Amino acid sequence: MSAQQSGWVRPTIDYAPVILFFVSFKIWGLKTGIVVMIVASIAAIAIGYLLARRLAWPPVVTAAIVVIFGSLTLIFNDDTFFKMKPTVVEGLFAVTLWGGLLLKRPLLQHMMGQGLKLDPVGWRKLEFRFALFCAGMAVLNEIIWRTQTTDIWADFKLGLIGLTVLFMMTQLPLIKNHMLADDIATERDSAGVDGADGRP
């Protein structure tokens, strides 16, 4: 898969099911939104595999939890299961990332290493911050679904995309400070910088 393809495949797999759920929920209600999200999550995984010829574990885990908790909601007619789904997903990712740090095997590097090359310190810092972010989103989801209406919770669920993008933007200084030298040189060359010592 080309770099241009990889730039849009990952966001599509991650965010398209959520967007489709939100639109379907607003038009047809929660149950239809859940069915649409289940189908979209499975389809996104299949499309991602066909294009990349490999399966990344985060979207696969997320899709599995969507299927499980969505099915429980439909079977028992209890939206509590589905509303807890973001808590489970974000909490699981937080625990997994912290576990990787404790075992000195940063998992984030394996997830993003092909498109992002940092030094070991940078990966540890970024993984720790990602784990904190995921934990914070899990707690926030619990607060929202337990205290607010389903409509507000659905808005929050879509808003998670914006919060994630905002979080990533706040990590740009860390990424630039710990980017490997070869990637820094490539980045500067692409910006039209000349000179053997890397200065303009």
Domain residue ranges of the chain, discontinuous segments joined by +: 1-76, 79-182
180 backbone dihedrals φ, ψ, rounded to 5°? -65, 155
135-162 pLDDT, tens per residue? 999 999 999 999 999 999 999 999 999 9
12-66 pLDDT, tens per residue? 677 899 999 999 999 999 999 999 999 999 998 898 888 877 777 888 999 999 9
pTM of the model: 0.83
Q: What distance in Å separates the CA atoms of residue 165 and residue 153, rounded to the nearest whole number?
A: 19
Residue 72 has pLDDT above 90, yes or no: yes
Residue 80 has pLDDT above 70, yes or no: yes
> Tokens 């994630």 sit at which residue?
164
> Tokens 């299949």 sit at which residue?
46
Q: What distance in Å separates the CA atoms of residue 38 and residue 29, rounded to the nearest whole number?
A: 15
